[in-house]
């Protein structure tokens, strides 16, 4: 029996399918919830603090103190969300969590002067139809550069990629550049990843070739997803991601059993 197809593709889903088709299926078709983790929640806290800073403050008031005040607001807001209820913090781990989040926010202000950033929008949800495929994505921040051209900015709170893998990590922002071009009719002049851990900026200029490559790659992944759904054939691909994959009990490649899966809910 064919599995229901997912309704859209995002950069995360494209990467997930390419990394391991079974993990993609469990997350996006069977919709098995992933337990929250401290690194992921820390990323959410830092993104939220920066969103508040850029969305609420006038440019000249985007100081370090203002950023840290937004962080203070973001921590209880994110940690009190229902999906994070299973995270256990004692005083010591909470203090370490907040201190590390603060380091990441401070590093953002080392990478750029927020008072100089001309923000158009933050956490922008974009969605566009390309043939029989819907692309969706959330852009952390869309800015204008000194010449009035669009710049797509994405914050990263994990480790920056090693040399030679930068372009792989920039794949997601090329996807956002494609969304901007399709939706707004304007190609961003630059896409950049702000890696807050190191801190370091990795940026690139979208070109006809890079966007066409993304269009083709996304269409190929979508065809592969459709085929896998029709044939109910999502194979595990053991690799480094297995060490943090939450689906071991279902994955035959690591001793799990797909028969433990609940029935798939057919989307409305």
Which residues contact ligand SF4 (rule: CB under 6 A)? 20, 22-23, 236-238, 241-242, 245, 247-248, 251, 253-254
Q: How far is the CB of 238 from ligand SF4 (least distance, A)?
A: 4
At 121 the three-state DSSP class reads: strand
Q: How far is the CB of 245 from ligand SF4 (least distance, A)?
A: 3
Tell me which residue of 66, 177, 170 sits closest to 128, measured CA to CA: 177
CA dihedral 32, 228, 175, 55 (to 10 degrees): -20
Kindly state the tokens that stand for 236: 């595990």
Q: How far is the CB of 253 from ligand SF4 (least distance, A)?
A: 4
Toward ligand SF4, which CB reaches closer, 69 or 242?
Answer: 242
CB-based contacts of 20, cutoff 8 Å, min separation 6 = 236, 237, 238, 239, 241, 245
Toward ligand SF4, which CB reaches closer, 229 or 242?
Answer: 242
Q: How far is the CB of 170 from ligand SF4 (least distance, A)?
A: 23
**Cα separation, 36 vs 139, whole angstroms:** 22
Toward ligand SF4, which CB reaches closer, 23 or 71?
Answer: 23
Toward ligand SF4, which CB reaches closer, 209 or 243?
Answer: 243
């Amino acid at each position: 029996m064919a599995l229901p197809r997912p309704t859209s593709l995002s950069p995360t889903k494209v990467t997930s399918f390419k990394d391991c088709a079974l993990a993609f299926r469990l997350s996006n078709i069977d919709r098995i919830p992933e337990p929250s983790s401290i690194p992921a929640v820390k990323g959410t806290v830092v993104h939220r603090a920066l969103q508040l800073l850029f969305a609420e403050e006038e440019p000249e008031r985007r100081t370090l103190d203002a950023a840290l005040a937004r962080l203070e607001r973001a921590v209880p807001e994110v940690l009190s969300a229902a999906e994070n209820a299973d995270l256990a913090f004692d005083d010591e781990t909470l203090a370490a969590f907040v201190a590390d989040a603060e380091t990441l926010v401070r590093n953002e202000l080392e990478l750029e002067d927020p008072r100089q950033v001309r923000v158009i929008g933050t956490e922008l949800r974009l969605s566009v139809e390309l043939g029989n495929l819907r692309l969706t994505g959330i852009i952390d921040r869309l800015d204008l550069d000194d010449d009035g051209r669009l710049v797509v900015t994405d914050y990263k709170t994990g480790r920056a990629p090693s040399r030679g893998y930068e372009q792989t990590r920039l794949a997601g922002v090329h996807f956002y550049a494609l969304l901007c071009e399709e939706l707004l009719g304007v190609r961003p002049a630059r896409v950049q990843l702000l890696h807050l851990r190191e801190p370091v900026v990795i940026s690139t200029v979208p070109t006809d070739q890079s966007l066409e490559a993304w269009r083709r790659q996304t269409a190929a992944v979508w065809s592969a997803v459709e085929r896998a759904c029709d044939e109910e054939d999502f194979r595990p691909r053991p690799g480094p991601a297995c060490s943090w994959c939450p689906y071991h009990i279902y994955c035959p490649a690591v001793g799990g059993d797909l028969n433990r899966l609940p029935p798939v809910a057919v989307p409305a």
